[in-house]
Chains A and B, each alone.
Chain A
Amino acid sequence: MAKLPTPQMLVASRPAFPEQDWLDIKPEFAPGSFCYPAKKETMELLHMPNPHDWDPAAEDWNLPENWEKILCDAFAERLEKHRSLKLFMDICVRCGACADKCHFFLGTNDPKNMPVLRAELLRSLYRRDYTMLGKLLGKKVGARSWDKDVVKELFYYAYQCTECRRCSLFCPYGIDTAEITAIVRELMHEVGLGTHWIMDPVKNCSFTGNHLGIQPHSFVEIVEMLADDCETVTGIRPKTPFNEKGHEILFITPSGDVFADPGIYTFMGYLLLFHELDLDYTFSTYASEGGNFGSFTSFNMAKKLNAKMYAEAERLGAKWILGGECGHMWRVINQYMDTYNGPSPSHMITPKSPITGTVFKNAASTKMVHIAEFTADLIHHNKIKLDPSRNDHIVTTFHDSCNPARAMGLLDEPRYVLKHVCNNFVEMPENTIREQTFCCGAGSGLNTEEIMELRMRAGMPRGNALRYVQQKFGVNHMACVCAIDRATLPPLADYWAPGVTVSGLHELVGNALVMKGEAKRTMDLRQEDLPNVVDDEPEGEE
C-alpha cells in the first residue's frame, strides 16, 4: 500500500543540522522571486556590455565565452577605482550587528539575506584573489572561486537588496552594504545581466526624458490634464510652465507622479502650491524624471541620467533647482551629484526662497532644495494659509522613505509639514521610523509586479508596524515622500493593513491649502467627497 506523507513530512524542510555549508546552498529561481531579464535590444541601445537573451529560470544563462575573465577584471577595476569598496571587503569582522536589520532577511528568513552574508558572497571571491590567507588556504578561510552558479547567486541576492542602507546604520565600521550591492549589480551588467524593470526606464529616460518614454508634447498634455483636475477641485487652474527660459527655479520631480495613481495627486499638490505662491518656476520635459534608475544600474549610467538636471538648469537659466518628493533621486543628489556632474553651472546660486528669503545653505553645493524643506520653511514663516480640518477624516502616520531619511537626514521637515496639514498624526514604533525606517520592500528597481510575492515578504516589517498603529490607534493613512513608495506601499498596505491609504506629503498640503479666490472645497484632490463640509452649505462661499 502506498504511503501518504504525514503533515510533518510535508513541512520537513531541513535536517536538524544542515549537511552543507551555507555558502554551498544554491538559490532556487522560483517564479515570484526574480525580476524579468532586460531585453537584448534595450541593452544594445544603451551600449551595455555583452547584451544577450537569457532567462533567469533557465539552467544556462548564455554568458559570454570569457565571462570569468570579464568579471575578474571588472572587479579588479572597481577595487582600484572605489577605495570604499576595497575597505568594505577588508574590514568586516562579521560581528553580525547588521544581520537582523535587513527587511529581506526578516521577511524571507534566508540567511543569505543577512547583509553580512550577502556581502560575503562577493567577499569570498575577493578573498581568493586579494588576501594571502585566501590564496593559501582557500575554502578553509571562506574563499571560493567563480563559477556559473556563483554568478547566479550574486544576481539573485543583488536583486534582493533594495539598497535601503538600514544595515549600514548599525555597522560599527560604517560598511555600506548598499554600495556592495551596487557593485555586484555593476558586475552583473558586465556580463549582460540586467532586469527589464530597471533597464526599460533607463532607456526611456535616456532617450525621451521620462521613465515611460512619453514624448514631450504628450507629457505636457498629461500635466495639463492634472491642472484641469485641480480646477475641478478648487476652481483655480494652476499654470503649467514648461521649458521656459529665464525663471528663477527649475522644478524636477519623478515622472511617476505624472503617470501613476496615487502619485498624480501629489503632483497636483505641487501645482496648486506653486500657483498660490506665484512661484517663478518652470518644468522641463528633458529633465522630467528626477528619479534615477541609472543608480540601480551602474555608476556611469547614474551619472549620465543625473547630468540632465544641471544641463537643463543651464539651458533654461534657472538659478536653482527645487526637487519633488522622491527617494533615490535625493540620495543621488545628496551623495553623488557633486562627484558625478559637479560643480553646478556657474550662473547658479545658493538657493534662496523667494517667498521667505531663507537661504538654504545646506544646498550651497548642489543648488537643489527638497520640497519638504521648502514647504516647511513657508509654514514656519506663515506664508501659506492652511485648513488642516480638510484632512480630518484621516489619521495619518508617516513612512520615512529610506533615501531621504538615511541618505540626507530629512526627518523632521516632512513631519513638521504633515502636522500642519493634518490634525491627526501618529508615529509608528520607534525602531521602524526615522533613521531606522523599514523599506517599502521594493526600492532600487524592485517595484515590479512579477515579484509581488517577494515584495510582500520583504515589506513585511513595514507592513507589520503599520498594522500595529492601525489596530492600536486607528491609523487609516500613511504619508510618504517617495514616488516609489507611493507605488509600492498601496499594495503592501492592502496586504498587511487593509484599509490604510497612501499618499504623498504634498497631496495633503494641496488638500489643506486655502487658496486666494478658490471655490469652496467639497472634495479632495482625488475628487472624493470631503466628509466634514457636507453640513454647512447655506450658499457656496468660503
Chain B
Amino acid sequence: MLSLEIFRAHKKEVVAAWVEAVFATYPFETTGFLRTKQDPFGNPVAHMTREAASTLFDAVAGEDMHPPTVKNALDRFIKLRAVQKFLPSQSLAVIHAMKPILREQVLPKMQDVGQLAAYLEAESRLDSLALLAFDMYCEARETVAEARIKEIRNQHAQLARWAQRLEDGGKAE
C-alpha cells in the first residue's frame, strides 16, 4: 500500500493544481472570483469543480471507491461543462489535465521507491474515469436535445389535444 500512501501525501497539491487548471479554462477576469469565494451556492462552479477534483484524485489514487459515488461527484461538473461554450474535446480534456500534474508531483516519488507499475495503473484509472466522463457528457447532451423536443411538444399540448378532438368530430377522446 506504499503507492496509496504516496498518493495520499500529495492529494492537496495535485487537487489544488488541477482545480487551477480547470479555472484557467475560463476567462482571465473570472478566475479570481472562482478562486476566492467558497459558498457552494454563491460560487457553484468552484464548488462543483472542487468536489469533482477530490473524488477524481481519490479514484485515481486507488482508494476504495464505488462507481456510483464517483459518478455522483462528477455529475454536476460534467453537466456544467457539457452546456458551457466548449468543444466536446475542451469540455473533457480537463480530466486528462490531471496527468501532467501527477507526473510532476507523484511520478518521481513513485519511481524512487520502485512503484512505477503502480503509478501506471493509476494513470490507467484516470483513462477509465475519462471514459466514464465521456458517457456522462453524452448523456447530458442527449438530455438537452430531448428537452428541446419535449418543450416544443409541451408548449402546444392542449392545442394538439383540441385539434385531435376536432378531427375526431367533436367529443370523442
Contact = CB atoms under 8 A, between A and B. Distances in A.
A261 B162 contact: no
Contacts of A258: 158
Contacts of B80: 107, 457, 460
A151 B160 CA distance: 40
Interface in B28-57: 28-30, 33-34, 37, 39-45, 48
A25 B29 CA distance: 12
Interface in A70-119: 99-100, 105-111
A465 interface: yes
B76 A467 contact: yes
B114 to A, nearest CB: 28
A449 interface: yes
B152 A449 contact: yes
B118 to A, nearest CB: 23
Contact of A452 (B45, B100, B148, B154): B148
B140 A111 contact: no
Interface stretch (A10-18, A126-134, A360-368, A379-387): A10-18
A453 B83 contact: yes
| Main SS class of interface, B | helix
Given A7-B99, A110-B30, A491-B150, A452 B144 contact: yes
A106 B97 contact: no
B73 to A, nearest CB: 12
Give the most central of A222, A260, A498: most B CB within 10 Å.
Answer: A260
B138 interface: no
B159 A109 contact: no
A452 B93 CA distance: 24
Nearest to A105: B30
Interface string A454-491: 10110011001101100000000000000000010011
B88 to A, nearest CB: 10
Contacts of A468: 40-41
A495 B93 CA distance: 22
Given A14-B27, A261-B157, A449-B152, A7 B84 contact: no
Contact of B159 (A214, A456, A498): A214
Contacts of A30: 85
B131 interface: no
A20 to B, nearest CB: 10
Interface string B59-84: 00000000000000000100110011
B165 interface: yes
A431 interface: yes
Contact of B162 (A221, A260, A449, A467): A221
Contacts of B124: none
A214 B163 CA distance: 12
| Main SS class of interface, A | helix
Contacts of B85: 28, 30, 33, 108
Contacts of B144: 452-453, 456, 495
Interface in A1-48: 7-8, 10-11, 13-14, 17-18, 22, 25, 28, 30, 33
Given A111-B27, A452-B151, A457 B83 contact: yes
A contact residues, range: 35 or more
A468 B100 CA distance: 33
A449 B79 contact: no
Contact of B97 (A8, A14, A18, A99): A8
A432 interface: yes
A250 interface: no
Given A8-B97, A14-B24, A452-B148, A260 B155 contact: yes
Nearest to B37: A100
A21 to B, nearest CB: 10
Nearest to A449: B148
B30 A10 contact: no
A264 B157 contact: yes
A10 B89 CA distance: 7
B23 to A, nearest CB: 9
A431 B47 CA distance: 15
Contact of B41 (A22, A465, A495): A465
Nearest to B84: A457
9 contacts: A10-B87, A107-B80, A111-B27, A258-B158, A260-B154, A452-B144, A461-B41, A468-B41, A496-B76
Interface of B: 21, 24-30, 33-34, 37, 39-45, 48, 76, 79-80, 83-85, 87, 89-90, 93-94, 96-97, 99-100, 140, 143-144, 146-148, 150-152, 154-159, 161-162, 165
Given A11-B97, A449-B151, A491-B147, 11 more contacts: A8-B97, A11-B25, A30-B85, A106-B44, A109-B26, A110-B30, A226-B158, A449-B148, A452-B148, A461-B41, A464-B44
Interface of A: 7-8, 10-11, 13-14, 17-18, 22, 25, 28, 30, 33, 99-100, 105-111, 212, 214, 218, 221-222, 225-226, 256, 258-262, 264, 429, 431-432, 449-450, 452-454, 456-457, 460-461, 464-465, 467-468, 487, 490-491, 494-496, 498
Closest 4 CB pairs of A and B: A7-B96, A111-B29, A491-B147, A261-B157
